[in-house]
Amino acid sequence: GDKHARPSRRYHGQKPGSKDLIEETSDIEDLLKKEEDYKEENNYSTETSGAVKWKEDLSRKAAEAFLRQQQAAPNLRKLVYGTVTEDAEDDDRDGQEELGGLFHIRQPDGGCKYKADALDCSRFPVQAPHNWDLEEVMNSIRDCFVTGEWEEDKDAAKILAKDDE
Amino acid sequence: MATQAHSLSYAGCNFLRQRLVLSTLSGRPVKIRKIRARDDNPGLRDFEASFIRLLDKITNGSRIEINQTGTTLYYQPGLLFGGSVEHDCSVLRSIGYYLEGLLCLAPFMKHPLKIVLRGVTNDQVDPSVDVLKATALPLLKQFGIDGESFDLKIVRRGMPPGGGGEVFFSCPVRKVLKPIQLTDPGKIKRIRGMAYSVRVSPQMANRIVDSARSILNKFIPDIYIYTDHMKGVNSGKSPGFGLSLVAETTSGTFLSAELASNPQGQGAAVLPEDLGRNCARLLLEEIHRGGCVDSTNQSLALLLMTLGQQDVSKVLLGPISPYTIEFLRHLKSFFQIMFKIETKPCGEELKGGDKILMTCVGVGFSNLSKTLK
């Protein structure tokens, strides 16, 4: 991930101890702490209570969803800003390759080479279209419509009535 | 003016508009090098030169330097002035290309912008004027940019390659923007559309409507697709047809999709039935992506959040586009703003794919150009 690291290093250099970074780091630490706490809780319940089967499954599912979210979030951040704030320092050390102690190897900025002269367009084309003739694909967006299922805390009739006014 | 500000340097012609727009708003000059440097035909194209001329028209005191081959551009922004302006856009890109830039700048003018843009209103590349009218204007309203003078009107429709369309855009100015909390997209209550045709049989539009409805009716009954057949000088210089669709939710979110026929003399003839069905499917894809902002307007929403008062703004988006990712990097360079980016998995809900929650604190940008009354 060296090529992604470059912009952030610059950021680091310009603004040591910037507010954003500190906030971010503490955010991530908080999340990690929560994650640890969660696991412990999970073990506790399965060992002692001998709870009903579906409950066990539920907590496992929740834990998996949580982990998935944890993994996805830093990746997205890395994709956008070049690096996750945590491992920025590690990247500082490597990536400084030298040839004969004189020339630095120039690394292309995060994949910029192929897109630097590409079409400047805000449209976001669909990469892998779904087959909207399939019932299950159609069902995947059913609840985006007023005709679909409503969350319990929302009274469909009330919202729609208010809308007509 | 921040003339002493250190300039930012970029390479290549991609993302030219965002760089120039953010430069104008932040007051930081930009230098863009290697513009199609390795191309057989190097340097800026006509449509980009036209965008730069447009920026020059709406600002006061901008300095623009371009080298002889057109491969290097230096832009030192002036003050956003606004007022009544006319501009002939290049027909190589549609008016949407220019309008996207103007939507970012118009709220911060000294005098409210009233602009006539001439060129291509609908093509296959950029968001059309119809879609921007239906999605970007309601988005600006969420930030408190509203009023009687807020208008975007298609006076004449023009298709590529000839163009000949005309659009009128007027936008009120605001001193500060409201922070937003767009985290609940609501549920789609209706779908509206515009099937247009110029210099072809008006029957084309009707055929588009029927085929699009056949797909969308499986989801919701409240669908109305207007047909628009402009005639004579109002129909531009080239024949063509197309469709734009917008899904509106209970919380005022607008998701859009559009398709246009191939420009005259390019590619095979498109059947209106195929165009209608494919456009309806594209709308379903956009609904699957979801979020509170249409995928083409992601960067506009993130910009206005950045420029908002020093308060927290949140917006739920679908997957973020490559254009938006670059825009976020630029926001960091020009305004030192980094967003908190959280993935919200779709889970068991039947609401399409994973969503992304974007959070930031505005920089408290205030429009110093605006005249005080």
Using CA atoms, how far apart are residues B291 and B297, in angstroms rounded to an integer? 11
A17 with A87, same domain?
yes
Instruction: Report yes or no: B6 at the A interface, CB cutoff 8 Å.
Output: no
Which pLDDT score is estimated for B136? 98
How far B270 CA lies from chain A's nearest CA (Å)? 19
Per the rule left: phi > 0, alpha: psi between -120 and 50, beta: everything else, B82 is left
For A73, residues 6+ apart whose C-beta sits below 8 A from its C-beta are: B341, B342, B343
Least confident of A3-12, A64-73, B169-178, B295-304: A3-12
Q: Would you say residue A102 lies in a domain?
A: yes
- Which of B14, B218, B287 is facing A115, going by the closest CB pair? B14
What residues in B contact A143, CB-CB < 8 Å? 187, 349-351
A65 with A109, same domain?
yes
Instruction: Report yes or no: A151 at the B interface, CB cutoff 8 Å.
Output: no
Q: Which of residues 126-185 of B touch A (CB under 8 A)?
A: 126-127, 185
Q: Would you say residue A58 lies in a domain?
A: yes
Which pLDDT score is estimated for A142? 94
Which pLDDT score is estimated for A48? 47
Query: Does A9 have pLDDT greater than 50?
Result: no
Instruction: Report yes or no: A24 at the B interface, CB cutoff 8 Å.
Output: yes
C-beta of residue B32 within 8 angstroms of C-beta of residue B10: yes
- Average pLDDT value for residue range B197-204: 96
More confident residue, B164 or A100: B164
Question: Would the CB atoms of A81 and B332 count as touching at under 8 Å?
Answer: yes
The residue in chain A having the minimum alpha-carbon distance to the alpha carbon of residue B36 is A117
Q: Would you say residue A97 lies in a domain?
A: yes
- If one counts the domains in chain A, the total is 2
Which pLDDT score is estimated for A18? 46
Size of interface A-B (CB pairs under 8 A): 151
Using CA atoms, how far apart are residues A105 and A3, in angstroms rounded to an integer? 12
Query: Does B258 have pLDDT greater than 60?
Result: yes
What residues in A contact B290, CB-CB < 8 Å? 141, 144
Q: Quick one: what percent of chain B has pLDDT higher than 70?
A: 97
N residues, chain B: 373
A87 with A44, same domain?
yes
Sign of CA dihedral B301, B103, B196, B273: negative
Amino acid at B268: A
A14 with A94, same domain?
yes
Which pLDDT score is estimated for B66? 97
Domain residue spans of chain B: 1-79, 188-289
Amino acid at A27: D
Query: Does A153 have pLDDT greater than 80?
Result: no
More confident residue, A58 or A147: A147
Q: Would you say residue A124 lies in a domain?
A: no
Least confident of A74-83, B173-182, B318-327: A74-83
C-beta of residue B130 within 8 angstroms of C-beta of residue B122: yes
Tokens of B22: 């953010």
Question: Would the CB atoms of A144 and B351 count as touching at under 8 Å?
Answer: yes
Amino acid at B110: K
Assign domain B188-289 to a CATH class. Answer: alpha beta
Using CA atoms, how far apart are residues B245 and B220, in angstroms rounded to an integer? 14
Which pLDDT score is estimated for B164? 97
Instruction: Report yes or no: B33 at the A interface, CB cutoff 8 Å.
Output: no
Least confident of A55-59, B20-24, B101-105, B299-303: A55-59
Q: Would you say residue A103 lies in a domain?
A: yes
Query: What angle in degrees, to the nearest 10, is found between the helix axes of B322-335 and B298-306?
Result: 20
How far A72 CA lies from chain B's nearest CA (Å)? 7
Which pLDDT score is estimated for B28? 95
Which pLDDT score is estimated for A11? 41
3-state secondary structure of B294: coil
- Which of B13, B39, B342 is facing A120, going by the closest CB pair? B13
Which pLDDT score is estimated for A72? 59
- Domain coverage including residue A160: 135-164
Query: Does B15 have pLDDT greater than 90?
Result: yes
The tens digit of pLDDT for each residue in B357-369 reads: 999 999 988 876 6
What residues in A contact B101, CB-CB < 8 Å? none
A8 with A51, same domain?
yes
ipTM for this model: 0.93
Instruction: Report yes or no: A102 at the B interface, CB cutoff 8 Å.
Output: no
H-only helix segments in chain A? 2-14, 19-48, 53-81, 88-93, 112-115, 135-139, 156-164
Which pLDDT score is estimated for A113? 47
More confident residue, A143 or A68: A143
Sign of CA dihedral A138, A144, A145, A151: positive
A24 with A64, same domain?
yes
The tens digit of pLDDT for each residue in B135-146 reads: 999 999 999 999
The residue in chain A having the minimum alpha-carbon distance to the alpha carbon of residue B42 is A117
C-beta of residue B161 within 8 angstroms of C-beta of residue B94: no
